[in-house]
A and B are shown apart, each in its own frame.
Chain A
Amino acid sequence: QSALTQPPSASGSPGQSVTISCTGTSSDVGGYNYVSWYQQHPGKAPKVMIFEVSKRPSGVPDRFSGSKSGNTASLTVSGLQAEDEADYFCSSYAGSNMRVFGTGTKVTVL
């Protein structure tokens, strides 16, 4: 299984929006509506922000939203705040009970 492709970095000023892409294939992202997104601050464990493409767990601000088109999923963070600066990873179900992660994107709040 190859890792899903994410841009290495993204940035925005406070209050602005940033969108991160996650590109896979028809065997993972494109084949299932089971894309999830994780936020990871330095030295900390990942935290789920989005699951099943666009669902937010309880407690996650509605500034975080997810979508998918074809083999590419996206995470949008609206109204950027300083605490949103972190690494973000996508993940997808890849069939046969396998999972695959994205390469990760470092989001910087300017």
Chain B
Amino acid sequence: QVQLVESGGGVVPPGTSLRLSCAASGFTFSNYAVHWVRQAPGKGLEWVAVISYDGSNKYYADAAKGRFTISRDNFRNTFSLQMNSLRAEDTAVYYCARDGGWYYFDSWGQGTLVTVSS
């Protein structure tokens, strides 16, 4: 079955960097676009970024542009989110999700918590 497993979360000071990873299994990873979605504590979902099936196209929410970079490795069935210049407002559970093909998220990981605090 489809499985997505995030890793890399933790507590970091403001202004620093963190790299999140998502390991995919149970499907042909190179056929699907994949996303990062975050959820601040007690708040709603916020779309962060998407990368196309082959990595040639990447799109970001305004809050992520210029600070976050999404990438993928179709040989290792993984994708990542490099987050730089982290701010307190980036504190959230970060989910990786698979694109269902028609602009929806059909599978989700369990999430990894990122806390930006001094």
A interface residues with partner B (beta carbon < 8 Å): 1, 3, 32, 34, 36, 38, 40, 44-48, 51-52, 57, 89, 91-93, 96-104
Contact = CB atoms under 8 A, between A and B. Distances in A.
A92 to B, nearest CB: 8
A46 B44 contact: no
Contacts, number: 66
A104 B102 contact: no
B57 A48 contact: no
A98 B47 contact: yes
A45 B106 contact: no
A45 B95 contact: yes
A99 B47 contact: yes
Given A47-B108, A97-B59, A52 B45 contact: no
Nearest to A104: B44
A1 B50 contact: no
A88 to B, nearest CB: 11
Interface string B26-63: 00000000010100000011110010000001010110
Nearest to A96: B59
